[in-house]
Amino acid sequence: MRLATFQFKSNPARLGAPVDGQLIDLNAAYQAMLRERGETLPEQMAAAVVPADIIGFLDGGERAIGAAKEAIAYAGKIGSRAAEESIAYPEKTVKLLAPIPRPRKLLMVGLNYRDHAQESGNPLPEYPTFFMKGAVCVTNPGDPIEYPRVSKQLDYEAEMAFVIGKRGRHIPKEKALEYVAGYTIVNDVSVRDYQHRGQWTMGKNFENAAPMGPYLVLKDEIPDPHVLDVSCFLNGERVQHSNTKQLIFDVNYLVNYISECVTIEPGDVVSTGTPSGVGLFRTPQLFMKPGDVVRIEVGKIGVLENRIVGE
């Protein structure tokens, strides 16, 4: 199953699932299904089972996923009525937002592909390196990335990210995937001239510096996250290409390592690092500029595309 956070016209953001060109409003579909069954579950309780927001949904765990699948089946069963009752919308009529608009934690991993460590001149790390991005960085698929007026070195980094779906601490590696809800795409946009003047945090935390999406693909569609192709295209030219089998520290290791330090929670996003080909280490260097289009493709997850605009 795939999940999306979407907005129809000026309405508040809602949680949906893309199915055959339609976006099913999961909360609305679930409540309509209960009404048709004649069940008397109060609206507030029904909303608690399938919340209208992604964090609430992930908090609901397997119960929410099971109820959402029922709601999707119901929407398909009633056909055109789903659109008439504002349960389903043609995808072209809605705006897709970042699937996790405000992550509880947004953790990024540095130098986690063997080929990227090699191109940067660094030895393979013994332990993973983490940094954090703030919620202000999260950007919707299709929305512009601002070219900062104070920088001339705006770089792309194609990354596969995983989203936590279950709270826990000290998670053993062999059980790590039980705590993962699914996977999405993140572009770890980096302002290199700030990053390398001793301002690592600021260089990674400009506004729009973490485009995400378009979907959260639950792990039932991706049983193994370590066999996914990762590519980045700048203006149609492929500038990065690798596979998650090149990860130095895989998803299991990262869940274990992070949970040694902090409690992981549903809605945490962990972006697993970028492969070789970033603009900083190309000869000549290649940085994004206004008018450019950056497109990231990750196998089984989809495509994340954004245009660069002047600030």
For residues 83 and 104, membership in a common domain is answered with: no
For residues 179 and 252, membership in a common domain is answered with: yes
As a whole number of angstroms, the longest Cα–Cα distance in the chain is 67
For residues 116 and 36, membership in a common domain is answered with: no
Domain containing 12 equals: 2-96
Residue 244 CB contacts under 8 Å (≥ 6 apart), including other chains: 160, 225, 226, 227, 228, 230, 250, 272
For residues 68 and 166, membership in a common domain is answered with: no
For residues 262 and 115, membership in a common domain is answered with: yes
pLDDT tens per residue, the chain (311 residues)? 999 999 999 999 999 999 999 999 999 999 999 988 887 666 666 678 999 999 999 999 999 999 999 999 999 999 999 999 999 999 999 999 999 999 999 999 999 999 888 888 888 899 999 999 999 999 999 999 999 999 999 999 999 999 999 999 999 999 999 999 999 999 999 999 999 887 779 999 999 999 999 999 999 999 999 999 999 999 999 999 999 999 999 999 999 999 999 999 999 999 999 999 999 999 999 999 999 999 999 999 999 999 999 99
For residues 271 and 213, membership in a common domain is answered with: yes
For residues 132 and 256, membership in a common domain is answered with: yes
Instruction: Write the CATH number for 235.
Output: 3.90.850.10
**Residue written as token pair 């983490």:** 130
Q: Would you state the pLDDT for residue 44?
A: 64
For residues 165 and 268, membership in a common domain is answered with: yes
Q: Would you state the pLDDT for residue 39?
A: 75
Helix pair 26-37, 61-78: axis angle to 10 deg: 70
Instruction: Write the CATH number for 89.
Output: 2.30.30.230
Q: Would you state the pLDDT for residue 200?
A: 79
Which of 96, 127, 146 lies at the terminal end of a domain, its last residue?
96
Cβ–Cβ < 8 Å for 192, 226:
no
Q: Would you state the pLDDT for residue 100?
A: 98
Q: How far apart are the first and last CA of the chain?
A: 37
Which of 43, 67, 96 lies at the terminal end of a domain, its last residue?
96
**Residue written as token pair 């199915």:** 19
For residues 69 and 173, membership in a common domain is answered with: no
The encoded tokens of residue 220 equal 């039932």
Q: Would you state the pLDDT for residue 62?
A: 95
Please give the model's pTM, rounded to 2 decimal places.
Answer: 0.96
Total number of domains in the chain:
2
Which of 68, 96, 124 lies at the terminal end of a domain, its last residue?
96
For residues 90 and 227, membership in a common domain is answered with: no
Count Cβ atoms below 10 Å from residue 243 Cβ, excluding itself: 16
For residues 92 and 119, membership in a common domain is answered with: no
For residues 89 and 160, membership in a common domain is answered with: no
